[in-house]
Amino acid sequence: MKDITKFVGFDVHQDTIAVGVADREGGRGRSWGTIPHRAEAVRKLMSPVSRKEQLMVGYEAGPTGYELQRLLARMGIRCVVVAPALTPTRPGDRVKTDWS
């Protein structure tokens, strides 16, 4: 993972994707905003960045399936889909708050 320069996290919903980014491992995360959950919006956001950065994208598996992961793979962007049960949580922080 030493060649990765940016870590990108997606919070995927049916109509939108919230995007966050951090520089290298341990870098401070920041929001890149929200985009429509459409292939052309993902390509428009990620294509210019992936040409100059080595990206690792991750998002939590959910009802939207794996089409997003397949799109990123076709673009040459590494992507991991994390099982919700394996997402780390703080003790006592077990309540789902983003029901959108």
Higher pLDDT, 27 or 95: 27
Q: What's residue 99's pLDDT?
A: 59
Q: Is the pLDDT of residue 100 over 60?
A: no
Question: Is the pLDDT reported for residue 89 higher than 90?
Answer: no
- What CA–CA distance (Å, rounded) separates 28 from 23? 7
Q: Tokens for 29, please give them.
A: 């995360």
Taking only the tens place, the pLDDT of each residue in 31-70 is: 999 999 999 999 999 998 888 888 999 999 988 889 999 9
Length of the chain: 100
Domains and CATH numbers, the chain: 6-86 (3.30.420.40)
When the pLDDT of each residue in the chain is averaged and rounded to a whole number, the result is: 87
* Contact (Cβ atoms closer than 8 angstroms) between residue 71 and residue 39: yes
| pLDDT over 90, % of the chain | 55
31-43 b/e with 16+ CB inside 10 Å = b? Answer: ebeebebeeeebe
Residue 91 has pLDDT above 60, yes or no: yes
